[in-house]
Structure 1
Amino acid sequence: MFDIDKLKVLNELDREIAKYILTSLDKVAYMRVRELADATNVSPATVVRFTKKMGYSSFPEFRVTVKQELAKQKKILSNENQRQSLLNNTVFPDDFDDKVESLVEKIVAADLIHCIGIGVSGIMAEYAARQLTTLGYCSFASTSPYFPYLTSEQRVKGSNNSEVCLIFSVSGETIEMVQIARLLSDSKIYTTSVTNKGNNSLSALVDLSLTYDTSYDRVHLNVDLSSQLPVIFFIETVVKHLYTRSSYHELPQSINYSIGDT
């Protein structure tokens, strides 16, 4: 709805207007210029200038966009039941939603998100990193167990930088992933595992263990037919939470930093 480059050059007054709009879409969609001005303690002229800075020719055009954004968010939420129906044979633990929300909090505050896995789980790691990057988060995927994951953590040791590492493994016993989790256990990097069932070595080593319970269909050492639908559901649930968390202060840290510097 707002162009990131335009947000970067806003003055303090305009940033307050943007913050209010992003946290109150359902109200702003039906406000007049004066009502939005009163809600943000500015003049109607300031509101009109703000909408023009954001690329809108008039306030009514801006309000149409707000309604479209609100409808888009409601559609995302309404798709939840449809996604759930695809997972009738999967059981998630009772605290699944709470754990997802905890992870979302960590991601919002993170400067860097690692997504790692090998084999099919590597594909899931790449998908997760791509989705997070689409939302503006600094994220990358690696399917190599030999990547120096501690390099960035060591370089910024003593700083307030925050990192999250998502480790994908169906069994939770993949030797390379377990070794990485063990390596990271003494670092400041917040680790989260995504595994089928929770009684495994990987889950015991990470800060947060996200699990699902579905059939484990490895028919051969190199042939694993286990469904990845629960993992996709997990990734898209996290992304949905991040997307609908539209508070201005909860935009990716890299964006907030850039705005604060102007």
Structure 2
Amino acid sequence: MLEKISMVQQLSDSDEALRTFIFKNPAQIFQLSAREIAAKIPCSSATVTRFVKKCGFLSFRDFQIYIRNEVENMTGTSMTKRIFLEQIFVDQVFEADINEQITRVGELFQAADWICCIGMGSSGIMAEYAARKLNMIGFKALSSNEPYAPFLKREAKENGNVVLLFSSSGETREMVELAQLLKSYDKTIISVTNSGDNLLANLSSINLCYYTEKQRLPYQFDLSSQVPVVALIEYLVAYCYHLQAAEN
């Protein structure tokens, strides 16, 4: 259990104390903030953040998700079975800087000629929904559930266009290849993924990530919840609408 943490070498005394606390209290880790964990050691919250990076995690939230999954595997239960519906957005579904990220995306949308929303499967439905909502408030947006759609060859290269990619796993081969193509055009890539630790997120200029339990069925059917994605779209569209109203 917790191999990614136990394998880290050359730790300071504070790091060792932090690791010992994690090993003894894994079920508490995904319920506490970095500051609250630091207070229990004691150490600084910066020490906690640096330790998380040393373990190979992109963010503190990715670290918490890893711990939670390890606890669930050990106990054979799913923690999310104990979460009530009204708590779903209270339990740190999004990163702490999500509002700043939304602001950056909104500014890019304001300056864009076209917004290309792309995804596959359930994520393709989210891309279509995003394009529809953006069109309703006056943006020029189009959607596709086919990452190799012909229009991309032209639109993706044009400087005035923004590309918004949806992928629950962030590892879908077609979506990753598309992101690599867009990166070769020096495009600003905005992605929406379930966690910030995946190939698509790493290729993106801006990653809007959320955290829900991943549920994969045989033959790669994805039953993971899209509720946080809908919430992100709704919030982003509302922000853009009010941004437009303020300018007018």
Q: Normalised by the shorter chain, which TM-score bucket?
A: 0.5 to 0.7
Residues 90 and 230, structure 1, Cα contact 8 Å, conserved in 2:
no
1:43-80 CA distance string (max 9 Å, x none): xxxxxxxxxxxxxxxxxxxxxxxxxxxxxxxxxxxxxx
Distance 1:92 1:118, change over 3 A: same
Corresponding position of 1:172: 170
Contact in 1 for aligned 2:156/2:182 (Cα 8 Å)? no
Pairing 1:1-262 to 2, within 5 Å after superposition: 87-89=89-91, 91-148=93-150, 149-154=152-157, 156=158, 161-247=159-245, 249=247
Distance 1:170 1:246 in 2: 29
Tell me whether 240-249 or 123-132 shows the greater mean CA deviation: 240-249
Q: Residues of 2 paired with 1:190 and 1:142: CA distance?
A: 18
Residues 118, 165 of structure 2: 8 Å contact kept: yes
Question: Would the alpha carbon gap of residues 88 and 107 (structure 1) be closer, same or farther in structure 2, given more than 3 Å must change?
Answer: same
| Count of residues in correspondence between the two structures | 163
- Following superposition, the deviation at residue 225 of structure 1 comes to 1.2
Tell whether the 8 Å contact from 1:212 to 1:230 is kept in structure 2 after alignment: yes
Paired AA for residue 171 in structure 2: E
Q: What is the deviation of 1:220?
A: 2.0
Does the 8 Å contact 1:195/1:210 carry over to 2?
Answer: yes
TM-score normalised by structure 2 residue count: 0.61
| Deviant stretches of 4+, over 6 Å | none
Partner of 1:62: none
The higher-RCO structure (CA 8 Å, 6+ apart) is 1
Query: Residue 9 of structure 1 aligns with which residue?
Result: none
List alignment gaps of at least 5 residues for structure 2.
Answer: 1-84
2-structure distance, mates of 1:144, 1:191 = 17
User: Given residue 111 of structure 1, which amino acid in structure 2 is its aligned partner?
Assistant: D
Conserved? CA contact 2:170–2:201, under 8 Å: yes
Q: How many percent of aligned residue pairs carry the same amino acid?
A: 40
SS in 2 for 1:127: helix
CA distance in 2, matches of 1:186, 1:84: 43
Where 1:130 maps in the other structure, the secondary structure is: helix
Tell me, what secondary structure is at the counterpart of 2:129?
helix
Q: Secondary structure of the residue that 1:233 maps to in structure 2?
A: helix
1:132-156: CA deviation from partner (whole Å, max 9, x where unpaired):
01111110000112114231354x5
Verify the 8 A CA contact 1:90 1:214 in the aligned structure 2: no
* Largest Rg, 1 or 2: 1
For 1:201 and 1:224, the matched residues in 2 are separated by 18
TM-score (norm 1): 0.58
CA distance in 1, matches of 2:88, 2:99: 17
CA contact (8 A) 1:112 1:137 kept: yes
- RMSD of equivalent CA atoms: 2.0
C-alpha contact 1:163 1:188 (8 A) present in aligned 2: no
